[in-house]
Amino acid sequence: MKGTVASAGGQLLSEIYDGEPGIDRALRVQGPGGHVFKLFCGMQTDQALDPGDRPIKFEHASVKVRNIGAFERFLKDGLGFEFSDRMGPLASWWHCDQDHHGMALVRAPKNELAHYAYQYNDLNELGRVADRLKALRNRQLIWGPVRHGPGHNQSMYLHDNDGALIELSADLALMPPAGDYQARKWPVSPTTLSQWGGGLPPLRFLLTGFPIAPPTTGRPSWAMSVGRRPARTA
C-alpha cells in the first residue's frame, strides 16, 4: 500500500492499527491536496435501531480540489477507484463498489471538503426528514430536492451544526454488473445537476467549503494494543 499510494501522489500517514471502537483495523493516507482518508475493515454491524426514517448508510464524500487531474490519479491508481462520470473540466464522480460514486471531485480554488452524504430509501423518506428538520429544529434546506444527472440520485442539502454541507440522497444508480448505469461525460449545464429544472444551485451551496483538519502521523495515541478482540460483524 505504501508504495502504491506514494507513486499515485499520496502519503501514508500510519501503519495498520487497531483499537478504534466499532472497527477492526485501519490505516490513514493523505491525498495530493491534503485530504486525509481512513481505510478500515471489520465495522461492527450488530446494533439494533428503533424503526424510522434513518440513513441506510454513509454514501459518499465530495471534495473540492485545486488539481483535479492529480486527485483523480490518486483515487484510481492509489486507492483503486474507477471512473463513473465527468462534467466538463469542473467535476468528476468515482466508484469503488456497485454504487455510482463513493467519491465526487469538484474543481475549486481551495482544497476543502465539499459535502458528505447519507443514503435513504426513497424521496418519501427525504420529505419526512425535511418535515422533521423544519418542525423540530427550524432548519431549512439550502438546495433541493433535485434529481442529479450523474448518478441519477434524488438529493437535498443542508448545513450541519458546524457549517459543513450534508447531502441526503436516494435512488443512486448502480454500476455494472449490479446495475446498468453507463459512465459518460456530461455538459457543463444547470440541467446536469438539476434534471427537474430550477436553474443553477444557490450560492450558499456553491460557496460552502469545510477546511481540512491538519493531519497527524503514526498510530493514534488512544488506540488499544494490537491483539485485542476484533469488532463483531454481522
Q: Is residue 131 part of a domain?
A: yes
Q: Is residue 162 part of a domain?
A: yes
Give pLDDT, residue 154: 97
SS3 content of the chain, % helix, strand, coil (to 5): 20, 30, 50
Cell 476484533 identifies what position? Answer: 230
Q: Is residue 228 part of a domain?
A: no
- Please answer whether residues 125 and 145 qualify as being in contact, where contact means their C-beta atoms are separated by less than 8 angstroms: no
38 and 62 both lie in a single domain: no
Q: Is residue 179 part of a domain?
A: yes
Give pLDDT, residue 231: 47
59 and 34 both lie in a single domain: no
CA distances from 138 to 13, 52, 117, 131 (A): 41, 20, 21, 9
Q: Is residue 217 part of a domain?
A: no
Q: Which CATH number covers residue 118?
A: 3.10.180.10
Cell reading at 71: 486527485
133 and 83 both lie in a single domain: yes
Q: Which long-range contacts (CB under 8 A, 24 or more apart) does 47-53 make?
A: 53/120, 53/125, 53/128, 53/129, 53/132
Give pLDDT, residue 48: 84
67 and 135 both lie in a single domain: yes
Cell reading at 36: 486525509
81 and 20 both lie in a single domain: no
Q: Is residue 116 part of a domain?
A: yes
From first to last of its 234 residues, the chain has per-residue pLDDT tens of: 767 888 999 999 988 988 888 889 999 999 999 999 999 999 988 888 888 899 999 999 999 999 999 999 999 999 999 999 999 999 999 999 999 999 999 999 999 999 999 999 999 999 999 999 999 999 999 999 999 999 999 999 999 999 999 999 999 999 999 999 999 999 999 899 999 998 788 999 999 999 998 888 877 776 755 555 544 444
62 and 167 both lie in a single domain: yes
Q: Is residue 163 part of a domain?
A: yes
73 and 176 both lie in a single domain: yes
| Residue 47, number of CB atoms within 10 A of its CB | 8
Give pLDDT, residue 233: 44
161 and 102 both lie in a single domain: yes
Give pLDDT, residue 225: 56
Write out pLDDT tens, residues 61-77: 999 999 999 999 999 99
Range of the domain at 132: 53-207
176 and 84 both lie in a single domain: yes
118 and 199 both lie in a single domain: yes
Task: Count how many domains the chain has.
Answer: 2
Give pLDDT, residue 2: 61
Q: How open is the CA angle 158-105-110, to the nearest 5 degrees?
A: 80
30 and 133 both lie in a single domain: no
Write out pLDDT tens, residues 122-168: 999 999 999 999 999 999 999 999 999 999 999 999 999 999 999 99
Q: Is residue 92 part of a domain?
A: yes
Give pLDDT, residue 234: 43
212 vs 161: CA distance, rounded Å: 17
Backbone torsions φ then ψ of 120, nearest 5 degrees: -115, 170
124-162: burial string, b at 16+ Cβ within 10 Å, e else = ebbeebbeebeeeeeeebbbbbbbbbbbbbbbbbbbeee
CA distances from 231 to 7, 54, 204 (A): 32, 23, 40
- Please answer whether residues 35 and 212 qualify as being in contact, where contact means their C-beta atoms are separated by less than 8 angstroms: yes
Give pLDDT, residue 227: 54
136 and 189 both lie in a single domain: yes
